[in-house]
């Protein structure tokens, strides 16, 4: 069943999104498309968060997830220095640039992705792999030292093989934490995409050692049937032997 077809979910505005007649809208021109592509198109057409993102001028539906998480937990503040890992096509950048009031010339936002991202006012965008040598140093130079927040919505291209996709996402999560551990200033925050029940005990132990508070978040815009979830860790405490500062 396509998402939204029979349920009465709510958009982040709190409005019910099911059509008045309760019907699922079907895309035109379905002929010749693979069933998986047909399902994706139908879901997009009926997804209230796709519509909400479009209405708000966001480039991605993902921006609604960040808006919902920040709306509830209020972790982004004006003039913060923020790093966005896996920033393309730029929805999170748009939200952060606005919430952190970067147009006022204070604060800083650096985004990085394997893919090109169209410019976003207030953001400094790089193309690169966060796993590559020299990338961390380049981001640190651009941010002007240490960051107040590291956000990661990084996701690997899905294979359809559940376990493989899971392992890839977890590998990106570990990379993101490693990156954050080197660039965050004391008290900083880390928000990253994870898989429900996915982070292993060692990873959670490390996260809990490095941060004062760790929470799992599941914004409404993250599909209920998806194992996707987010980890929000606040109050970064660098290891005592840290000499990078």
Ligand X SMILES: C[S@@+](CC[C@H](N)C(=O)[O-])C[C@H]1O[C@@H](n2cnc3c(N)ncnc32)[C@H](O)[C@@H]1O
- Helices and strands in the chain, H and E counts: 7, 7
Residue 83 to residues 15, 29, 95, 176: CA-CA distances in angstroms? 32, 40, 13, 11
Query: Is the distance from CB of 100 to CB of 82 less than 8 angstroms?
Result: yes
Instruction: Please name which of 102, 140, 139 lies closest in space to residue 123, comparing C-alpha atoms.
Output: 102
The Cα–Cα gap between 185 and 33 comes to: 49
Choose the stretch contacting ligand X; rule: CB under 6 A; options: 16-24, 90-98, 118-126, 223-231: 90-98
Choose the stretch contacting ligand X; rule: CB under 6 A; options: 9-17, 83-91, 184-192, 217-225: 83-91
Q: Which of residues 181-240 bind ligand X (CB under 6 A)?
A: none
Choose the stretch contacting ligand X; rule: CB under 6 A; options: 8-16, 87-95, 207-215, 223-231: 87-95
When binding is defined by CB under 6 A, the residue of 2, 11, 68, 92 that contacts ligand X is 92
Q: Alpha helices of the chain — where are they, by DSSP H? A: 35-46, 48-55, 62-73, 91-99, 135-143, 162-183, 201-210
What's the closest the beta carbon of residue 185 comes to ligand X, in angstroms?
A: 22
Query: Is the distance from CB of 170 to CB of 195 less than 8 angstroms?
Result: yes
Adjacent-strand bridge partners of 82:
109, 149
The Cα–Cα gap between 77 and 192 comes to: 18
Number of residues that bind ligand X (CB under 6 A): 23
When binding is defined by CB under 6 A, the residue of 48, 90, 122, 188 that contacts ligand X is 90
Pattern 99-138, ligand X, x by CB under 6 A:
-------------xxxx-------------xxx-------
Has 55 been annotated as catalytic? no
Q: Which of the following is catalytic: 193, 205, 213, 218?
A: 193
What's the closest the beta carbon of residue 208 comes to ligand X, in angstroms?
A: 25
Question: 117 vs 238, which CB is nearer to ligand X?
Answer: 117
From the number of C-beta atoms within 10 Å of its C-beta (0-12, 13-18, 19+), residue 245 rates as exposed
Choose the stretch contacting ligand X; rule: CB under 6 A; options: 25-33, 60-68, 142-150, 209-217: 60-68
Query: Is the distance from CB of 67 to CB of 53 less than 8 angstroms?
Result: no
When binding is defined by CB under 6 A, the residue of 76, 82, 88, 233 that contacts ligand X is 88
What's the closest the beta carbon of residue 111 comes to ligand X, in angstroms?
A: 9
When binding is defined by CB under 6 A, the residue of 153, 220, 231, 238 that contacts ligand X is 153
Which residues in this chain contact ligand X in the complex, by CB under 6 A?
59-60, 62-63, 86-92, 112-115, 129-131, 153-156, 172
Catalytic residue numbers read 193
């Amino acid at each position: 069943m396509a998402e939204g077809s029979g349920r009465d979910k709510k958009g982040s505005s709190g409005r019910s999104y099911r059509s008045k007649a309760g019907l699922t809208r079907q895309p035109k021109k379905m002929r010749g498309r693979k069933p998986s592509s047909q399902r994706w198109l139908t879901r997009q057409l009926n997804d209230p968060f796709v519509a909400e993102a479009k209405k708000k001028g966001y480039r991605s539906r993902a921006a609604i997830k960040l808006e919902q998480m920040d709306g509830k937990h209020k972790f982004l503040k004006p003039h913060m220095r923020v790093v966005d890992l896996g920033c393309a096509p730029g929805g999170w950048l748009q939200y952060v640039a606005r919430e952190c009031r970067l147009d006022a010339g204070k604060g800083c936002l650096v985004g990085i992705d394997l893919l090109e991202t169209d410019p976003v006012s207030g953001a400094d965008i790089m193309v690169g792999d966060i796993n590559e040598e020299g990338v961390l140093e380049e981001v640190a130079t651009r941010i002007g030292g240490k960051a107040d927040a590291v956000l990661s919505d990084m996701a690997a291209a899905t294979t359809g093989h559940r376990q493989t996709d899971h392992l890839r996402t977890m590998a990106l999560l570990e990379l993101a934490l490693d990156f954050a551990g080197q660039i965050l200033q004391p008290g900083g925050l880390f928000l990253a995409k994870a898989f429900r029940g996915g982070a292993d005990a060692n990873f959670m132990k490390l996260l809990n050692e490095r941060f004062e508070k760790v929470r799992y978040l599941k914004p409404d815009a993250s599909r209920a049937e998806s194992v996707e979830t987010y980890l929000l860790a606040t109050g970064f405490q660098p290891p005592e032997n840290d000499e990078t500062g």
